[in-house]
């Protein structure tokens, strides 16, 4: 019984590692950021989604910054 439990714990640990590796927040640790248009909080995927004067929030690994498109 103990062997089975130990095996299942190892399987669970491996699954947790995979989940963490795929996390969008983990990507931020590698220097990437997530930008969204304010106030709608629409995730930005291309520059054509914004125009001069739009407000944008950029989420970083540690915190976020608010910007205005120029």
The pLDDT value recorded for residue 47 is 96
The pLDDT value recorded for residue 4 is 87
The overall pTM is greater than 0.95: no
Q: Write down the residue that tokens 């106030």 correspond to.
A: 39
The pLDDT value recorded for residue 22 is 85
Mean pLDDT by 10 residues, the chain (70 residues): 90 93 86 95 96 97 96
Following DSSP, what letter does each residue of 10-47 receive, concatenated? HHHHHHHHHHHHH-HHHHHHTT--EEEEETTTEEP-SG
Report strand pairing: 64-68 vs 42-43: unpaired
Taking a C-beta distance cutoff of 8 angstroms, is the pair 56, 44 a contact?
yes
């Amino acid at each position: 019984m103990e062997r089975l439990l130990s095996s299942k714990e190892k399987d669970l640990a491996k699954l947790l590692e995979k989940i963490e590796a795929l996390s969008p927040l983990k990507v931020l640790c590698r220097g990437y950021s997530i930008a969204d248009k304010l106030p709608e909080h629409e995730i930005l995927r291309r520059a054509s989604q914004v125009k001069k004067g739009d407000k944008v929030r950029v989420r970083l690994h540690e915190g976020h910054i608010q910007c205005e498109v120029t």
